A and B are shown apart, each in its own frame.
Chain A
Amino acid sequence: MTVTTVRDFVLDLAQILLRSLSWPATPGLVRVGNPGRDSPVLVTCNYDLTVRRVLRALRGVDAYLLVAPTKGINVWCGAAGGYFAAHQVISILRTSGIAELVDHRRLVLPQLSATGVERKLVEQRTGWRVVFGPVYASDIPAYLAGGRKTEAMRQVRFRLADRLEMAAVWALPFSAIGGAVLAIGWRDLLWPFVTMTWALALGLYLFFPRLSGTVGPSRRPPAGWARYLILFDPRLRRNATFWALFVVVMWGQAYARGAVHIHHLMGWSLVSLFLMLVISMDLDGSTPIYKSGLHEDRFLKVELNTEACRGRAMCWEVCPKNCYTVDAVAHKAAIARPDECVQCGACIVQCPEDALAFVTPAGERIPPAAIRTYKLNMLGKRSNTIAQAGRS
């Protein structure tokens, strides 16, 4: 192992476990391999973990990588939160000096930035042509070599590695804070607590595909304040079953060791129930494949005005759940899989004809311009404010 690999490994581990801390990379231009005047120009965010992963994925490729100033926030969160928008792309194009280094004007952006980066604005202001590349950096070499994006390259997934990362993101703070308290006066409880926290978090995310059967737009969580009480939520049933199995294993293990102390076992069962409920509260929201169950924008539906549509397929190119199909003969798009929609808004932001818009359960249409300006999260105020912004 070289020094770089060891350094990369340590940084990866630290940045995965301490995700809530900021790890910004320096914005600017990175030469990958030995780029020339025809080499591709790629853009990414300045979240250090992403930058290093993109650079690893690009081994053997000659390209320019522009690291945009997105406040150290990752691509999808940055795009949805207004930190990775057309302004940041224009800024890096103008401050990096890339125009002097290449003869072409073709810019490849990460597909997930389509929620935030308005392609038309970048093209109008800079003269660069914007295309959205694959969702995952690991697909970039195949995309560049083949010149086209396959369906798999457009699809966002929640792979085993991603699930393990999310489990660690939960387990680390819980075990650290709880462990620190126990270390003061209850040392004998420390390791059982830490082990249990990690086992629960890993279990919930490892078995996520099995547990997620009840989520999706067709299964609505209760409206209003009740949605925070996951106990009354249909989404909880499978997670509760998982917890029951966990308790059975815990009790079985105590029995096998001949250490059945009812008080202890009851106590640990309650602690594990609490942890399970906290982790489950927004289990969907911690994945890239489902909308958070806690936000109202889960109920927004994308509506397609077929008459306005001219089949330019931008929606098809940027949808991370492959919801769209495009009839190349009739030049019309269709929403083939509406239940898969995660309300990211990328299709609405990019549609050149404004043929797509969110519609609220009350039937109100949110103008595409409001989504382009305020993004879907409206800086935390979400769809209520969006509806107001649309009206004003």
Chain B
Amino acid sequence: VSSYIWMRLLESAPQRYDAGVRLLSMGHIERVYRRVAELVHGTEVLDLGCGTGNMLLHLAGRGLHLVGVDISPGMLAVARKKIPPGAARLVQTGVAELTDQFPGQSFDTIVGILLFSELSEAEQHLALHQCNSLLRSGGSLILADEVPAATWGGRTMHNLLRVPLLLIAYLLTQTSTRPVRDLEAKLNEAGFRIVLRESNRLGDFSLVQAAKREE
């Protein structure tokens, strides 16, 4: 779980990213991709912060119209090599510009894996509102990310695992991820209804599916 801190380290070297993620998550991240792929519905799917395209690879070949968005051109360059030609459209952009890139109500499902932990509070807020306007009626948003553990024991374990890695990650990358606080409250505020929530044993990694609320 603490391996997600390495995201920042790995993102600075997109070429090493996949091997690193597999090694450090000990397969955990693959399970997340598979679970999210089960939950994706509809035909128009947007992967926010698609990185090197792992989630898109899990969705390719199902006849979906896939769009991947990432702020890093380096990550997208790796994704372009991995994803079969024509399987997904890749767009370089930030989360504050989604509505510049896509018309309203264009997607059935939007997924965001390990993305929100890299955004500032204000960016999370804006991104959720933009996602809401990009989703069609009945569409849903699926987020999987680091969250603060709910129990004292979980937080202690999390800190024990995280702090040493945090220090190394700081030294190497000068950046780090930050667990997403009050994710469900933020989703509610942005016009979503929580449909499903799953957590790991430590309670510091969550998967949330939220449906666009019909006003």
Bound-state CA distance A31–B96 (Å) is 22
B94 touches A20 (CB 8 A): no
B100 touches A87 (CB 8 A): no
B174 touches A82 (CB 8 A): no
Bound-state CA distance A156–B72 (Å) is 28
Residues 358-392 (chain A) with a chain B CB within 8 angstroms: 373-374, 378-380, 389
A21 touches B171 (CB 8 A): yes
Which residues of B have CB within 8 Å of A82? 72-74
Residues 6-31 (chain A) with a chain B CB within 8 angstroms: 20-22, 24, 26-28
- Supposing A28-B122, A95-B123 touch, asked if A21 and B95 sit within 8 A by C-beta, the answer is no
- Supposing A22-B175, A90-B96, A95-B96 touch, asked if A27 and B72 sit within 8 A by C-beta, the answer is no
Give chain B nearest CB distance to A183 CB in angstroms.
Answer: 21
Bound-state CA distance A26–B178 (Å) is 12
Which residues of A have CB within 8 Å of B92? 373
Which residues of A have CB within 8 Å of B175? 22, 24, 71-73
B93 touches A87 (CB 8 A): yes
Give chain A nearest CB distance to B61 CB in angstroms.
Answer: 25
B179 at the interface (CB under 8 A from A): no
Which residues of B have CB within 8 Å of A73? 174-175
A91 touches B96 (CB 8 A): yes
Residue of B nearest to A28 (CB): B122
- Which one, A72, A88, A125, A379, contacts B14 given CB within 8 A? A379
Looking at chain B's contact residues, the main secondary structure is helix
A134 at the interface (CB under 8 A from B): no
Count how many pairs of residues, one from A and one from B, have CB atoms less than 8 Å apart in the complex.
Answer: 70
Which residues of B have CB within 8 Å of A20? 171, 174
Which residues of A have CB within 8 Å of B74? 82, 374, 378-379
A94 at the interface (CB under 8 A from B): yes
B170 touches A87 (CB 8 A): no
A96 at the interface (CB under 8 A from B): yes
Give chain A nearest CB distance to B208 CB in angstroms.
Answer: 22
Q: Mark B156-196, 1 if CB is under 8 A from A, else 0.
A: 00000000000000110111100000000000000000000
Given contacts A82-B72, A95-B123, A125-B97, 17 further A-B contacts (CB under 8 A): A20-B174, A21-B170, A22-B175, A22-B176, A69-B119, A73-B174, A82-B73, A87-B71, A87-B96, A90-B97, A91-B126, A95-B96, A373-B92, A374-B73, A379-B14, A380-B12, A389-B77
Residues of B in contact with A (beta carbons under 8 Å apart): 8, 12-14, 71-74, 77, 92-97, 100, 119-120, 122-123, 125-126, 170-171, 173-176
Residues of A in contact with B (beta carbons under 8 Å apart): 20-22, 24, 26-28, 69, 71-73, 82, 87-88, 90-91, 94-96, 125, 373-374, 378-380, 389
